[in-house]
Structure 1
């Protein structure tokens, strides 16, 4: 069975160095996770070493995406230059291994107009199959009207936008995520809770802003089994009773404009819950490499838990081929 993994991270040396140079108050502290153990070396390898890891896991194609926060923590001019460089570097990796890699564009969202232009360049000139964004840029949230051109471009070019988690703002961390101890505080604000709440909220705010009414062809992807949205579907749908400006119920947008991926969380119970709330046509596979590195046996066991053979093929590769236009 062909397997396509759609959230497989890498990083450029230029972006890594730029993030490391940021002053303490401007840094995204979650970058500390990128240098633990052999993670940094794995992130920066988009060649033979990565292919060997894919072979060991039984993965046929990986969609490469720059790890959080990509260029979004950087000032606009620097973000534009480094995003272009990263996209060119990813294109070179895909060109060297066209049967194994595709790429999601890195966008300089601290400059919304430049982000839309870079998405167009990546899609039409570089052959990227979508883009990954990491929530807000500074205090500018994804649903701000400044990004409407970006989403219009994505819809027009059929470029899915993957909303990846990003650490909450410093003010919010002071209010809700600090006061235990520094390491626990950071974990609470990132992989333990805050990352996922932020990503799910970004998608929910886009729905409530009417983004999909303006751009019905726009498709989003959420990792980690929907970043809490599916688990709170009944409650968020109650917003439909007061959001009278929307054409449809909140749950309908989730089920028609958002795809869900596993992000390496290969528990059967999470798969079952997801299939209860959305169609098997909207579920995608990913390992969140290199932060998760499931072996071939774990991946085989995961797919064995999909009861229908046709659905198994869709989740393994068919949905990704259709959404990202890989064939």
Structure 2
């Protein structure tokens, strides 16, 4: 079975160090693996049976830099991604990293990456300096994605500083770093971000905009009926209900989740055509992810969709 992994991170060490960026406690431990775009990454893919990775920079460290620096650093990261794809197009494709502190420049960079470099979309990491994607200032990026007919992969990122202080202060630094990110915090943060976009009418204005989220939907499949019953009555004037909008515009990946219950919940809530495979390399184990995928309790035809068919259709890879 062909397997395409959709949320697979990289971050070139030389570019990040030159920009003076500190990766912090958790990402810093993975710096070497993030930097590797060569034989070791391919060895891991081959051992797990992964045919292709769609690469994305772990760019929440750089998307919110001072605008001029953000433009320069993200441009260099995207050129490195493009070089990697050019060298092995049968094994790698890419999502663009965008300088979100300058939305006009970010829209231009997305256009460059898609039209000139052949990228398949972009990955944006949460809010940028406290500004969420539903803010009118961010509309140029969303409009560019809709015009180019490419998705935005909305990856979680740490919340604004005021949230970090309120929820995670007083804890051991390593515990706080985990709890505020992959241990819980950024899943709820990302799910809330998606709902902001729905509630504010982003998808009414841009009904063709496609959004991807990882980690089996960032909690949205489990909560979708509650969201519909509580939020929909106060989100008025839209052509579709909140749940209908989510099911039309949102796509989910499995990244980091290798369990029956969340997979079956995601399929039941969004339909199998909106579910795609991911590992979350290097923060999750590739072999564990593919082993689970191959034994997941779904029909063979649906398994093929999750493993490669849905992403090929969404990203027009054929």
Shared topology, TM-score over 0.5? yes
Say if 2:96 is the partner of 1:105: yes
1:59, 1:66 → 2: CA distance? 19
- Aligned twin of 2:151: 160
The answer for the alignment partner of 2:51 in structure 1 is 60
2: CA distance between counterparts of 1:43 and 1:68?
11
1:284 corresponds to: 276
Helix, strand or coil for the counterpart of 2:157?
coil
TM-score by length of 1: 0.93
Matches for 1:243-282 after TM superposition, within 5 Å: 243-282=235-274
C-alpha change, 1:100 and 1:171, in structure 2 (3 Å) is same
Deviation string 1:229-269 (CA, Å, 9 cap, x unpaired) is 11211222121111113221111111111100111211112
Maintained 8 Å contact 1:94/1:102: yes
Q: In the superposition, relative to structure 1, how do residues 45 and 163 fare at CA in structure 2: closer, same or farther (>3 Å)?
A: same
Structure 2 gap segments, 5+ residues each: none
Q: Is the 8 A contact 1:10 1:67 kept in 2?
A: yes
Correspondent of 1:307 among 295, 298, 303: 298
Q: Match for residue 318 of structure 1? A: 309
TM-score, normalised to structure 2, is 0.95
What does 1:1-327 correspond to in 2, within 5 Å? 1-17=1-17, 21=20, 31-36=24-29, 39-237=30-228, 238-295=230-287, 299-327=290-318
Q: Is the 8 A contact 1:143 1:205 kept in 2?
A: yes
How far does residue 292 in structure 1 lie from its aligned partner after superposition?
Answer: 0.7
Query: Does the residue aligned with 1:140 lie in a helix, a strand or coil?
Result: coil
Shift of 1:70: 4.2
Tell me if structure 2 keeps the 8 A contact 1:14–1:82: no
Moved more, 157-166 or 298-307: 298-307
Query: How far, CA to CA, are the matches of 1:298 and 1:133 in structure 2?
Result: 23
For the aligned residue pairs, the C-alpha RMSD in angstroms reads 1.6
Indicate conservation of the 8 Å contact 2:253/2:277, yes or no: yes
Shift of 1:4: 0.3
Aligned length, in residue pairs = 317
Deviation at 1:158, TM superposition (A): 1.1
Q: Is the 8 A contact 1:31 1:68 kept in 2?
A: no
1:252-299 superposed Cα distances (whole Å, 9 cap, x missing partner): 11111110011121111211111110110000000000111231x652
- Residues 198 and 68 of structure 1, relative CA distance in 2, 3 Å threshold: farther
Contact in 1 for aligned 2:25/2:174 (Cα 8 Å):
no
Moved beyond 3 Å, runs of 4+: none
Q: Secondary structure at the match of 2:286?
A: coil
Unpaired runs of at least 5, structure 1: none
